[in-house]
Structure 1
Amino acid sequence: MDLQQLSLVVRQDAITVVFFNVLLQQAGLPVPAVPTLLLAGSLAATPVQLLQLVAAAIAASVVADWAWYHAGRLFGYRVLAGLCRLSINPSSCVSQTEARFVRWGLPSLVVAKFIPGFSTVAPPIAGALRMSLPGFLSAAAAGGALWAGLALGAGWALKDAVRAVISVLDQHTGTALTVLLALAGAWLGWKLWQRYRFKAHSALPHITPGELMAAMHSEQPPLLIDLRGAGMVAETGPVPGARWAELDHLDETVGPWPRDRLIVTMCACPEDAGAVAAARRLMQAGYLSVKPLRGGYDAWVAAAAAMRQP
């Protein structure tokens, strides 16, 4: 199917195409929606048709966000951990995302659609934090309206330019496909490079849960930092002997601590990403002995349960 045929399909049933395209993208699938919105906006014949397209996009966006909200409400942080594990770059972890979400509140849902990655994890975080459903739906609808309205409105305002671009691309489909594949390859290469850098960055000595348990009963126990999100701490309870901290405010937490004391950082992130970042930051600040906990909070819970068994 060439671009002219695609334009014909969108023209014949634009509302359905927009609804399902936005629904699939907001559900987390790698399906771009903005090009479809631009095309649909350029093909709208009247302002009423444009408003119908905006309504379809808002409805699809809210349905997907509502589903993610309930997934977060039912399964809590297991959903978020799963989403982060699917990320090519695991350094963007749950606790850091949640901290920003808590700090910004409902307005974060309005701008979430414009922030890659955050638009997917914000709804389940809202559910895990038991945000009011009416407030969530209102903010999600406002965000969907702003995001889809801008794209559809741009297509409407620049309809002649959009159609000209489609005509040019249709005449040079092979070249356009080559450029698109090159851009996709460059993006994937950049993401893989970020992952490689993260792997190299995280190559520092860790401490195992067993070693931590033994050290906590020594004459000079290590100082333990819990980097989990505030919502997860409230849901699962604090870690005995640990001090809770946000990565962005780490200096305020450890300021009075002696620099020659062993410090252990713990998070609930894939590949201990948050704990590694905190350990690096503390070592750069002059603390001499900092180790991330291998396996994070889940490994600590398993080790604590094993110790309680007879």
Structure 2
Amino acid sequence: MDLLTPLFARHGLLAVALAVLLEQLGAPLPSTPVLLLAGVESAAREGFALRSFAAAALAAMAANLLWFWAGRRLGRRVLDTLCRISISPDSCVRQNEASFARRGVLTLVIAKFVPGLSILAPPLAGALGMRWSRFALWNLLGSALWAGVAIGVGRAFHGQIDTLLRALGQLGGVALALALAALALYIGWRLWRRLRVRRELDRFERLAPAEVMALLASSPQDVVLVDVRATSPGLPLASRIPGARHLDLGALGTSSLEGWPPAGHFITYCACPNDASAVRAAQWLRGQGRPARVLKGGIDAWTQAGLALENV
């Protein structure tokens, strides 16, 4: 316990609030170690667990409401920005959309326990049109659960954490060097994977909106537009390209093409960076024996070209 610095002992609540706020705003600074330390500190200070729990939950809620507002005002532009600075930009929106499609508002409850989902869930909820009161309720529940678990684990294992801190303190610079080396290897692997996925995406055949319109004009009965954006009963799609069918990316393993045209030009589209979701759906369709290509730029490129949408 004595390894906790006097600074943390005096300003622990401020440290908890700042760490959580910065992480939830997008800074690459994990706050879970600080919450664990708060749990360790609470074993020696009566009432500190409850105060640190409140500070963490409120700080997370403040940052998440800001991102929710940004998603509501800026839509998917803020998601694209977040994904471009992410280590895995081509899958972050697709994975988060799939989570909303499968779990709905429960995504907000588990978001902070899933790397990558925590920062994307609030603006995605705003962009998908969730009511702010509904978001606030479920997000506060998720924030409280996450903070309570981390602080509770720190308090329950305060003796073991103290022993670990002592051991790391004895290793000194060696422990720091090993931690930095592990971090560098992890980031390098993720960047290599990002480059490989980006190359695969870039090689996939795409059609511009004008080319799709030309196909529709020449043989409309042979063109099957496939919308792969995430949707759920609580977060329905407001509009789509006229005549498009919906394909649930979260259930491709159990999806069936029964009732779909046996042949033709299958053209998938999404609203995601690098058309990642549309490419995945097109690859799956090709695996089912259906010729498939991707609408370049997705539904955003379609609307920017001045082409009409229909209400769902």
TM over 0.5: yes
Q: TM-score, normalised to structure 1's length?
A: 0.87
Alpha-carbon distance between aligned partners in 2 of 1:7 and 1:41, rounded to the nearest angstrom: 14
Pick from 292, 295, 307: which aligns with 1:290?
292
**1:1-150 equivalences in 2 (<5 Å):** 4=3, 7-44=5-42, 45-94=44-93, 96-150=95-149
Say if 1:99 and 1:229, in contact at 8 Å, map to a contact too: yes
* Amino acid in structure 2 at the alignment position of 1:122: A
Pick from 260, 278, 282: which aligns with 2:281?
278
2:209 corresponds in structure 1 to 209
Alpha-carbon distance between aligned partners in 2 of 1:209 and 1:106, rounded to the nearest angstrom: 33
* Amino acid in structure 2 at the alignment position of 1:245: L
Q: Percent identity between the aligned chains?
A: 41
1:226 corresponds in structure 2 to 227
Q: TM-score, normalised to structure 2's length?
A: 0.87
When residues 95 and 38 of structure 1 are mapped into structure 2, their CA distance, relative to the original with a 3 A threshold, is: closer
Alpha-carbon distance between aligned partners in 2 of 1:35 and 1:146, rounded to the nearest angstrom: 16
**1:170-249 equivalences in 2 (<5 Å):** 170-202=169-201, 203-219=203-219, 221-230=222-231, 233-234=237-238, 237-249=239-251
Alpha-carbon distance between aligned partners in 2 of 1:296 and 1:16, rounded to the nearest angstrom: 44
Deviation at 1:269, TM superposition (A): 1.1
Say if 1:225 and 1:263, in contact at 8 Å, map to a contact too: yes
When residues 130 and 264 of structure 1 are mapped into structure 2, their CA distance, relative to the original with a 3 A threshold, is: closer
Alpha-carbon distance between aligned partners in 2 of 1:204 and 1:135, rounded to the nearest angstrom: 39
Secondary structure (helix, strand or coil) at the match of 1:255 reads coil
1:232-253 per-residue CA deviation (whole Å, 9 max, x = no partner) reads 841xx22123223322345757
Q: Verify: 1:300 aligned to 2:305, yes or no.
A: no
Deviation at 1:111, TM superposition (A): 1.3
Alpha-carbon distance between aligned partners in 2 of 1:130 and 1:262, rounded to the nearest angstrom: 32
Looking at secondary structure, tell me which structure has more helix per residue: 1
Say if 2:105 and 2:138, in contact at 8 Å, map to a contact too: yes
Deviation at 1:80, TM superposition (A): 2.0
When residues 298 and 133 of structure 1 are mapped into structure 2, their CA distance, relative to the original with a 3 A threshold, is: closer
Say if 1:73 and 1:130, in contact at 8 Å, map to a contact too: yes
Say if 1:245 and 1:253, in contact at 8 Å, map to a contact too: no
When residues 106 and 275 of structure 1 are mapped into structure 2, their CA distance, relative to the original with a 3 A threshold, is: closer
Say if 2:92 and 2:116, in contact at 8 Å, map to a contact too: no
Alpha-carbon distance between aligned partners in 2 of 1:194 and 1:111, rounded to the nearest angstrom: 26
Say if 1:7 and 1:39, in contact at 8 Å, map to a contact too: no
Deviation at 1:278, TM superposition (A): 0.6
Deviation at 1:113, TM superposition (A): 0.8
CA RMSD of aligned residues (A): 2.4
Say if 2:90 and 2:198, in contact at 8 Å, map to a contact too: no
Q: How many residues align?
A: 300
Secondary structure (helix, strand or coil) at the match of 1:90 reads coil
Alpha-carbon distance between aligned partners in 2 of 1:112 and 1:48, rounded to the nearest angstrom: 27
Alpha-carbon distance between aligned partners in 1 of 2:121 and 2:143, rounded to the nearest angstrom: 13
When residues 106 and 248 of structure 1 are mapped into structure 2, their CA distance, relative to the original with a 3 A threshold, is: closer
Say if 1:263 and 1:290, in contact at 8 Å, map to a contact too: yes
* Amino acid in structure 1 at the alignment position of 2:298: G
